[in-house]
């Protein structure tokens, strides 16, 4: 499972510049520290290439959500996968 939110937040020092803030929510299956590092780098590079955002101000957060804590259509992902 994968969900990504992206926001642009004002920086504290200039007020006009926007800092990319990307929040990725994933279930933890197969998610290694190496894969997380690759994902963070890829998202940062994508924002730089496609939106000309400064990598030095890009924030990427990965939240691991257990399948018992993620629901779709009134059921947890755990229940849905068990069918």
Give the active site residues.
Answer: 20
What gap in Å lies between CA 39 and CA 4, rounded to an integer?
12
Q: Residue 26 CB: number of other CB atoms within 10 A? A: 19
- The dihedrals phi and psi of 77, each to the nearest 5 degrees, come to -60, -35
């Amino acid at each position: 499972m994968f969900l990504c939110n992206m926001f642009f937040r004002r920086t504290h020092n200039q007020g006009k510049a926007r800092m990319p803030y990307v929040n990725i929510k994933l279930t933890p299956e197969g998610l290694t520290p190496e894969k997380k590092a690759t994902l963070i780098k890829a998202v940062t590079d994508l924002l730089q290439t496609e939106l000309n955002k400064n990598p030095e101000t890009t924030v990427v957060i990965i939240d691991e959500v257990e399948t018992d804590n993620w629901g779709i259509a009134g059921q947890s992902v755990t229940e849905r996968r068990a069918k």
